[in-house]
């Protein structure tokens, strides 16, 4: 039983997207059930209609050393990605001898899954991801509060040397970098981030607050505006028994950040996992 949410679409609904695949010569993954996928590009999408029937055809070409012979005369599964959504279907492959290309005769059912949209990427310790805030004094907003960072295993790479290196990256785009305080992210999604804070820092994160901050993601900088506090929960296991909190913020997706996270999620889940889920789905 798959845990992906496959949404059924008709071939007519998919027409504009299939035309776009051909126009942009986009990549498509093709595989026989239970086997590894091969990469092709789409060169043409054709609809042949008669009063009795209709054929929907995708013409493919290869940029590599794919073995076309292994697909000819076989039923295949295939998928492609458009705007962060994965599309899947089935078809039957033949060979166009005149143009020396592969052709998929499509079925009329397609499926879309957006399973990974809200999936969280574990960032610690594999990625250097920080949320940088300007924390102001409540009585005088022109003064920046200097917060003392507790040192424990989670923040062991937040010592002076690493802190200096991170801020050097920020300085390239942000002039007032010395006014910022950073928190190492535990995980991140396309619309949320979680990190740890100490008891003193917790008063700056309130239920009705709006937060704008910078995300430093493995050296790349993204700007988040208007984030909301989703949760602030006690966290067991702080240094010397001191109280700590886990903070979760929700924000509107940032285009380039979203793409980066979705790409990493696909890599971390394994190249064939979503294909295997579709195999299980069509067998149900």
* Count, residues in the chain: 284
Residue 53 vs residues 76, 94, 95: alpha-carbon distances, Å: 21, 19, 21
Least confident of 17-26, 144-153, 178-187, 259-268: 144-153
How high is the pLDDT of residue 146?
38
- For the record, the structure tokens of 194 come out as 């979680």
How high is the pLDDT of residue 192?
93
Taking residues 1-28, report their average pLDDT.
86
Distance in angstroms (rounded) separating the CA atoms of residues 249 and 110: 35
135 pLDDT band (50/70/90 cuts)?
A: low
In the chain, CATH 2.40.10.220 sits at 121-253
Residue 64 reports pLDDT greater than 80: no
Phi, psi of 34 (to 5 degrees): 85, 0
269 pLDDT band (50/70/90 cuts)?
A: low
Residue 115 reports pLDDT greater than 60: no
Per DSSP, the residues of 52-114 read S-EEEEEEEE-SS---GGGTTT-EEEEEEEETTEEEEEEEEEEEETTTTEEEEEEEEEEEEE-
User: Which residue did the predictor score with more confidence, 183 or 143?
Assistant: 183
Which homologous superfamily is 6-113 in?
Electron Transport, Fmn-binding Protein; Chain A (2.30.110.10)
Per DSSP, the residues of 108-155 read EEEEEE-GGGGPPEE-TTTS-EEEEEE-B-SS-TTSBP-PPPP-SGGG
Taking residues 16-40, report their average pLDDT.
91
219 sits in the region (left: phi over 0; alpha: psi -120 to 50; else beta) called left
How high is the pLDDT of residue 3?
55
CATH fold, domain 121-253, is Thrombin, subunit H (2.40.10)
Taking residues 27-39, report their average pLDDT.
90
66 pLDDT band (50/70/90 cuts)?
A: low
Opening angle at CA 49, ends 44 and 50, nearest 5:
155
Q: What is the pTM of this model?
A: 0.55
Residue 212 vs residues 162, 250, 282: alpha-carbon distances, Å: 24, 11, 44
How high is the pLDDT of residue 255?
84
User: Which residue did the predictor score with more confidence, 282 or 89?
Assistant: 89
Whether residue 192 contacts residue 250, with contact meaning beta carbons closer than 8 Å, is answered with: yes
- For the record, the structure tokens of 244 come out as 């700590």
Helices (H) and strands (E) in the chain, counts: 4, 14
Residue 171 reports pLDDT greater than 80: no
In the chain, CATH 2.30.110.10 sits at 6-113
Average pLDDT over all residues of the chain: 80
- Closest among 76, 73, 94 to 32, alpha carbons compared: 76
Whether residue 243 contacts residue 198, with contact meaning beta carbons closer than 8 Å, is answered with: yes
Opening angle at CA 25, ends 21 and 26, nearest 5:
60
Taking residues 53-81, report their average pLDDT.
86
Residue 124 reports pLDDT greater than 90: no
């Amino acid at each position: 039983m798959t845990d992906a949410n496959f949404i059924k679409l008709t071939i007519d609904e998919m027409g504009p997207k299939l035309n776009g695949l051909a126009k942009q010569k986009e990549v498509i993954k093709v595989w026989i059930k239970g086997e590894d996928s091969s990469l092709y590009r789409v060169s043409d999408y054709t609809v042949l209609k008669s009063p009795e029937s209709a054929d929907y055809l995708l013409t493919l070409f290869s940029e590599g050393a794919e073995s076309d012979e292994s697909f000819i005369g076989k039923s295949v599964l295939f998928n492609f990605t458009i705007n962060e959504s994965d599309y899947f279907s089935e078809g039957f492959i033949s060979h166009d001898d005149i143009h020396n290309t592969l052709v998929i005769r499509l079925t009329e059912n397609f499926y879309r899954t957006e399973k990974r949209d809200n999936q969280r990427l574990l960032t610690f310790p594999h990625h250097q991801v920080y949320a940088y805030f300007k924390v102001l004094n409540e009585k005088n907003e022109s003064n920046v509060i200097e917060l003392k960072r507790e040192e424990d295993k989670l923040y062991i790479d937040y010592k002076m040397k690493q802190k200096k290196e991170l801020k050097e990256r920020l300085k390239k785009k942000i002039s007032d970098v010395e006014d910022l305080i950073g928190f190492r992210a535990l995980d991140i999604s396309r619309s949320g981030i979680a990190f740890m804070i100490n008891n003193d820092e917790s008063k700056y994160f309130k239920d009705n607050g709006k937060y704008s901050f910078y995300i430093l993601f493995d050296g790349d900088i993204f700007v988040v505006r208007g984030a909301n506090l989703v949760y602030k929960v006690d966290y067991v296991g702080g240094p010397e028994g001191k109280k700590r909190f886990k903070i979760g913020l929700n924000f509107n997706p940032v285009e380039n950040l979203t793409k980066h996270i979705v790409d990493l999620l696909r890599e971390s889940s394994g190249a064939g996992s979503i294909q295997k889920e579709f195999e299980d789905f069509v067998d149900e």
